[in-house]
Amino acid sequence: MARAAVCNIAPSASGSRSPISQPTAATALVCQQACTANSQCQSFCFGLPDSATTPECFLYDVPAAQVPVQGNLHVFDLACAATQVPTTAPTHDQPIGQVPSNAGNTGNTGNTGNNNNNGAQNGNTGANTGNNGQQNGQTGAQTGQNGAQNGAQGQTGQTPRGLIARASVCNSSPPGTGSKTPISQPSASTAVLCQSACAANTNCQAFCFGLPPSDSTPKCLLFDVPAAQVPSQGTDLNVFDLACPAAQIPSTAPTHDQPIGQVPATGNTGNNNGGAQTGNNGAQNGQNGAQNGAQGQH
């Protein structure tokens, strides 16, 4: 059953556990990408120890809730959204780094549960009853790790940027109308790297990625509007909100047979933009609210 994602907190499990890998990573986002590329990785720790000059990145084959204390490092589930994963190099004053300043959605993605996207959906799975988080049809958001849910706004224990939560659009054809010029077109060989470029751009809210039929290299287009407002960018380019979790972002290089690439094998979503999704999207139980049976029913 689904559980709440643990994102950017000190690990608290007891006992000891060895990481499955310790890749080099300059930022928490790069550490997350290393976790995404490892089929066994479920969570990662990142930070700059007090006595170190370079940060440490530890990958684990268990959820973040089962990772024991690792000094002053913080732990993240693989499914944590890009808006919760620091993108700047850590310092001793900020040993984990800083999250993107343009985080448009809330903590554990705080996504609203409207049709055909994440969370509690009309006619689909994901409506929670649970301990403290009854939803009123619009929210799939959570507070901290408990998930007391509040109207249409996805509030979390991770501080949002004050914007009302909305459903993320992840890996779908751009639904907007009219025309919109991208603010940047960085080079990116995978959708994960395109997301990283978006996270590093303070104006970016969404990005398009894919390998057009007539091209030999993929395109990465950054936009200063939500994905829902991005119009079609041609064949085989899909759109993503910046807040889409790692489990929904393809991590392999695209081909003409798979022009967007493939999502991580460890991703725990049912599909790319539908239904009750596990990890950090929408209606969750885990630490916040038991579901009715295996499916939330309206």
pLDDT, one tens digit per residue, over 102-160 is 654 443 433 433 433 443 333 333 334 334 433 333 333 333 333 333 333 333 333 33
pLDDT at 22 over 60: yes
pLDDT at 269 over 90: no
Q: What is the mean predicted confidence (pLDDT) over 42-64?
A: 95
pLDDT of residue 166: 60
pLDDT of residue 274: 41
| Banded model confidence at residue 83, pLDDT cuts 50, 70, 90 | confident
pLDDT of residue 243: 86
CB 36 within 8 A of CB 97: no
pLDDT at 42 over 90: yes
| Banded model confidence at residue 55, pLDDT cuts 50, 70, 90 | very high
pLDDT of residue 104: 46
pLDDT at 277 over 80: no
pLDDT of residue 264: 80
Average pLDDT, the chain: 74
Q: pTM higher than 0.85 for the full model?
A: no
pLDDT at 173 over 80: yes
pLDDT of residue 149: 35
**Range of weakest confidence among 2-6, 76-80, 269-273:** 269-273
pLDDT of residue 200: 84
Nearest to 32 by CA among 281, 272, 208, 267: 267
pLDDT of residue 74: 97
| Banded model confidence at residue 234, pLDDT cuts 50, 70, 90 | confident
| Banded model confidence at residue 201, pLDDT cuts 50, 70, 90 | confident
pLDDT of residue 76: 96
